Amino acid sequence: MKANSTVVSEGKQNEGKFQSTVLYVKQHWQLYVIFLLPALVLTLIFKYIPMGGILIAFQEYNPFRGILGSEWVGFKYFQRFLSSPDFMTYLGNTLKLSIYGLLWGFPMPILLAFLLNRIESTGIKKKIQLVLYMPNFISVIVLCGIVRIFLSVTGPVNLLFGSQINFMTMPEAFRTIYIASGIWQGAGWASIMYTASLSNASQDLKEAALIDGANIFQQIKAVEWPAIKDMVVIQFILQAGNIMSVGFEKAYALQTDLNMGTSEIIATYVYKKGLLDGDYSFSTAVGLFNTVINVILLVAVNKIVAKMNDGKGL
């Protein structure tokens, strides 16, 4: 009897819950139809339908027959990519470009923020920030255009040193060019988040540290680091988790026929194979491989950082 009555009451509860949900949706239909629906429709069409399109990676895709009519080939294209001699080169190029980029690029904005934070005069600080943010508003094309002009055989860098080195054709120079120009363009802008966090540092701690006569390293450890730690963790997870999605636009714009040995990354390869050669299925397989590794990396980095950071990840 007792058991029976709990079942009944649970059923009633569920029914009540359902009814209240229906009532809520009826009362607040505007929230669903006017506010959320447009974004939801765009997401479903432009994000989820292409996810379904991934199926062509497992097919001999024929545009005239479509996804439904094309022949299934299993993991053929993945095998073709993984066993091709280029695979290790492109994977290595992608990983090296973004890992070195992260190692060099990640600390710079933090360093800039610490330095900016110690400038007493707000007027000077604002002016410096104005300059530091400026390169962020230059487009990738213009940035790469500038890099190409400056490093060309007749460009200012060679004029300055009286040399005639064509940097853009040197595979060994590509990564340095890519990463250095990235720091030049992005470090200032990326420092905003850290300067903003630093401005929220505890005033009490700051004063206590000054009274104790703490030196700069001690101050950073006691006052400034705690203020930006969470931000550093979030940024690190996001960037380390995106290692495989290193930007197509810049790598492609800095590519020349001769530096391909280091500049051909998976993203540029996917574009060339897919849209220039029309090898749809193969290109999709390579792209999917890239995305999956990226997701795995993101989850792994998040776990590792969370472990080091007392269980706090994303």
Region 69-98 residues binding another protein, contact defined as CB under 8 A: none
By CB under 8 A, the count of residues binding another protein is 95
Among residues 11, 16, 38, 69, the one that binds another protein under rule CB under 8 A: 38
Binding flag, residue 306, another protein (CB under 8 A): no
* 272 and 286 Cβ atoms separated by less than 8 Å: no
- When asked if residue 109 is in the footprint of another protein (CB under 8 A), the reply is no
- Could you say which residues in the range 220-279 bind another protein, by CB under 8 A? 230-231, 234, 241, 248-249, 252-253, 270-271, 274-275
For residue 10 the two structure tokens come to 């649970």
DSSP-derived letter for residue 106 is: T
Structure tokens at 257: 């026929």
CA proximity to 224, closest of 111, 107, 114, 112: 114
What tokens appear for 138 in the block?
A: 């230059």
Phi, psi dihedrals of residue 71, rounded to the nearest 5°: -80, 140
Asked if residue 193 binds another protein (CB under 8 A), the reply is yes
CB nearer to another protein: give 8 or 229: 229
Nearest-angstrom CA–CA distance, 86 and 213: 58
Q: Does 140 bind another protein (CB under 8 A)?
A: yes
Q: Cα separation of 309 and 314, whole Å?
A: 11
Nearby residues of 283 by Cβ (< 8 Å), 6 or more positions away: 270, 271, 273, 274, 275, 277
* Interaction of residue 208 with another protein, rule CB under 8 A: no
φ/ψ (deg, to 5) at 246: -60, 140
Nearer to another protein, 8 or 216 (CB): 216
Residue 87 or 248: the one with the smaller Cβ distance to another protein is 248
User: Please, what is the minimum distance in Å from the beta carbon of residue 70 to another protein?
Assistant: 12
Shortest spacing between CB 6 and another protein, in angstroms:
26
Task: Please give the residues from 8 up to 37 whose contact with another protein meets the rule CB under 8 A.
Answer: 21, 24-25, 28, 30-32, 34-36
* Residue pointed to by tokens 């000054």: 210
- The encoded tokens of residue 196 equal 């903003």
Distance between CA atoms of residues 74 and 55, nearest Å: 10
Chain positions 41 to 60 lying near another protein, rule: CB under 8 A, are 42-43, 45-54, 56
Contact between 228 and 110 (Cβ < 8 Å): yes
Q: Are 284 and 51 in contact (CB under 8 A)?
A: no
Q: Tell me whether residue 7 or residue 292 sits nearer to another protein (CB atom).
A: 292
Using rule CB under 8 A, residue 138 touches another protein: yes
- With contact defined as beta carbons under 8 Å apart, do 94 and 175 qualify? no
187 binds another protein (CB under 8 A): yes
Tell whether residue 293 is a contact of another protein (CB under 8 A): no
Terminal alpha carbon distance of the chain: 48
Indicate the residue among 7 and 54 with the shorter CB distance to another protein: 54
Query: Taking CB under 8 A as the rule, does residue 188 contact another protein?
Result: yes
User: Applying CB under 8 A, which part among 68-76, 91-99, 146-154, 171-179 lies near another protein?
Assistant: 146-154
Beta bridge partners of 258: none
Q: How far is the CB of 235 from another protein (least distance, A)?
A: 9
Residue with smaller CB distance to another protein, 7 or 50:
50
* Residue from 69, 92, 107, 145 binding another protein (CB under 8 A): 145
